[in-house]
A and B are shown apart, each in its own frame.
Chain A
């Protein structure tokens, strides 16, 4: 049997073309921004990483020279290690704490839930500089409230230089990061828990399931997409921890709070080593991409 040629009404074809053009025109503003502020910088970052680029002279192509230097740079490894510690501590703690708070406040009356949501979201909407400065005062070696309380209660004999002592500085950074990170996950978890099918929970409880069983068997699978999103976003945010470091420690003392993001800034803006900084940016992007892919894969399998 011969194939029958499908004829398209010219009017329908015009309509399709019009709709396609319209769609692309609507997408155009975003595409311009995406190309200009995401795609182009990314491509430039990769290209520049193969050059010895600095201010005031032509860039010199050095192939993988920056990458070779990077892997032999002890400060880079220290920064990568610190960044991984921040991620490994802050991501699970943020997720677990947010889920716990969301579970607790989602059962409260609507007004109380809203109030707590606002309270936990405040550090997110407050400027990071303002929040960081308040923490800086609290950690102050000479008049900070932590030392005051510690000495008043007899927990410490001498004031602790929280941000100036390598033993404590990274912990302080992680603590501040946690307070600014939990707001959004809490709001998302509260919404996700509200959307869980109540009839399923009631049916399970009617069949004798404990609250814990109902949570893990009914609620947890339904909020998994939210969990996955929170994991990915928190991981990326933790990897890109910069403002806190810049405002509080500048990577010190003795590189104990140096992160990859701050080391990129330090090399690019303070030492004018644009190629070297970009090479670090490429490595960081690869690490984040791999971790995000793993998280997505793990989330899909669940």
Chain B
């Protein structure tokens, strides 16, 4: 009898394990947006369309990283399309790529992912994991969306792995209060928010001489916010990160080497391998640093409370030889669909993307805190004086070189290069090593 009971217990244990795994599979995703009952009731019934559940994984692109905001958007979407249920997972830039990569390798990739062309086109798209969205790119869309954005969303062979929603131009920021107090304000063109490289260096020296020993930090602990450091050394003497065809990395050009040598030698500029872009922005907001190289409208909005009334933030373009020939790094964000082999889910995902980008454009864009990729869409922040300043930087949008082959490896090698320079490796040597690594990755 005892043996029988023991056997029965063992069977129960094994079965319970199986049951546990089944239960896990049925557990709903972290957040699930469904239309409120009243809205659903009001929505037109569509009995012919079978319900489809799709997953959206989104990086923290403005308020697209906030559940309470996204839930409202999804409720509105469900009012129009009650048969498509969208579950959302919110990623961070710290471990988001790892999560997505693990999911891809485990055949559990989300249906939709929201990010930029460097991931959707140059990485997962190039690896054959994304659905071609060419059918979403109608003639009307192509005519309306900025040509540079369209080029970034295209793999160069006619396949579109991203349908874009919003964009911004990454800039830098200075502590206006301190600049005025120390006399460094004279080097700033306050009207155009620009400055020459010569004036930038004079301003840094003025602040340093006034006692601010760390005016700015060339952060390089990891890749986070690295568009800021790239824009800094590319613009100072007119260098480029890649060639115009996006086939080769050109970081070791004399212009870039001169810029990095100048920065390394400049009092008040610290090559800091202990912080990344987000941490640099935090230090600026706390008043520890007097300028931030990793900045944009959303970065500013996220730190408004910390900054408070302690000082006035003044957004600036990066310094360039004559001040106005600046080329800012652009940020483009939109949606891609992973090829999970389910056409019904792909269709539902396309419906969702079209609704977000084409039907509910203004709200979707303003949720991001950035600007529309469509020329026909008005500035969502026309009444906001500060936001409007950030909007003026769009005229300086430079080449979107993040889609160059080998970008992932090149990006990792770039912050390693800055660390080497910061620890005394000659700039030309470090830059040559970077270019060799990056071009080898591009050629694979």
Residues of A within 8 A of B (CB): 15, 18-19, 21-22, 25-26, 28-29, 32, 55-57, 139-143, 161-166, 249-250, 252-255, 266, 269-272
Instruction: Report 14 cross-chain contacts, Cβ distance below 8 Å, ordered by A residue.
Output: A25-B7, A26-B10, A56-B126, A141-B272, A142-B214, A249-B221, A252-B221, A252-B273, A252-B419, A254-B416, A269-B97, A269-B101, A270-B412, A271-B408
Across-interface contacts of A165 in B (CB, < 8 A): 273
Q: Contact at B274–A163, with CB atoms within 8 Å?
A: yes
Q: Apart from A139-B274, A166-B423, A252-B220, what 17 extra A-B contacts exist at CB < 8 Å? A: A22-B10, A25-B7, A55-B105, A56-B129, A140-B274, A143-B286, A164-B275, A164-B422, A249-B274, A250-B221, A253-B419, A254-B416, A254-B422, A255-B416, A269-B98, A270-B409, A272-B101
CB-CB under 8 A from B286, the residues of chain A are: 143
| CB–CB B17/A164 < 8 A | no
- Measured CA separation A139–B408 after assembly (Å): 30
Question: Are the C-beta atoms of A142 and B288 separated by less than 8 Å?
Answer: yes
In the complex, what distance in Å separates the CA atom of A255 from the CA atom of B222? 12
CA distance A250 to B220 in the complex (A): 10
Residues of A near B10 (CB, < 8 A) are: 22, 25-26, 28
Does B6 have its Cβ within 8 Å of any Cβ on chain A? yes
Q: Could you tell me if B419 and A254 are in contact, using CB atoms closer than 8 angstroms? A: yes
Q: Contact between A55 and B129 (Cβ–Cβ < 8 Å)? A: yes
Of all chain B residues, the one with the shortest Cβ separation from A142 is B288
A270–B415 Cα distance when bound, in Å, is 13
Known: A28-B14, A56-B128, A164-B273. A253 touches B408 (CB 8 A): no
CB distance from B371 to the nearest CB of A (A): 31
Closest Cβ of chain B: how far from A142's Cβ, in Å?
Answer: 5
Q: Which of B6, B14, B408 is in CB contact (< 8 Å) with A272? A: B408
- A162–B423 contact, CB under 8 A? no
A55 contacts B101, C-beta separation under 8 Å: yes
For the complex, would chain B's binding face be called helix, strand, loop or mixed by DSSP majority? helix
Tell me if B6 and A253 are in contact (CB < 8 A).
no
Given contacts A166-B423, A253-B423, contact A270 B3 (CB under 8 A): no
Does B104 count as interface, using CB distance less than 8 angstroms? yes
Q: Which B residues are CB-close (under 8 A) to A141?
A: 272, 274-275
How distant is B118 from chain A, measured CB to nearest CB, in Å?
14
Please tell me which one of the listed residues A25, A142, A255 contacts residue B14 in the complex, with CB atoms under 8 A apart: A25
Minimum distance in angstroms from A65 CB to a CB of chain B: 15
Kindly list chain B residues whose C-beta atoms are within 8 Å of the C-beta of A255: 416
**Contact B288–A143 (Cβ < 8 Å):** yes
Q: Which residue of B7, B104, B222, B272 is within 8 Å of A161 (Cβ)? A: B272
Known interface pairs A141-B272, A161-B274; A29-B17 also in contact (CB < 8 Å): yes
- Known: A56-B128, A254-B423. Is A164-B274 also a contact (CB below 8 A)? yes
> What is the CA–CA distance of A123 and B420 in the complex, to the nearest angstrom?
34
Q: Considering only CB atoms, which chain A residue lies closest to B126 in the complex?
A: A56
Closest Cβ–Cβ distance, residue A266 to chain B (whole Å): 8
Residues of A within 8 A of B129 (CB): 55-56
Closest 6 CB pairs of A and B: A56-B127, A164-B274, A25-B10, A253-B273, A164-B273, A163-B274
Determine the distance from Cα of A269 to Cα of B97 in the docked complex, in whole angstroms: 8
Q: Is B13 an interface residue (CB 8 A)?
A: yes
CA distance A57 to B128 in the complex (A): 8
Query: CB-nearest residue of chain B relative to A18?
Result: B3
Q: Are B14 and A29 in contact (CB under 8 A)?
A: yes
Q: Give chain B residues whose Cβ lies under 8 Å from the Cβ of A142.
A: 214, 283, 288-289
- For the complex, is B11 an interface residue (Cβ under 8 Å from A)? yes
List the B side residues contacting A25 at CB < 8 Å: 7, 10-11, 14
Question: Which chain B residues (1-37) contact chain A, with CB distance < 8 Å?
Answer: 3, 6-7, 10-11, 13-14, 17
* 8 Å CB contact of A162 from B274, B415, B419: B274
Q: Tell me how far the C-beta of B363 lies from the nearest C-beta in chain A, rounded to whole angstroms.
A: 35
Bound Cα distance from A250 to B409, whole angstroms: 15
Alpha-carbon distance A162/B415, docked complex (angstroms): 18
Task: Report Cα–Cα, A15/B126, bound state, in Å.
Answer: 62
Cβ–Cβ < 8 Å partners of B288 in chain A: 142-143
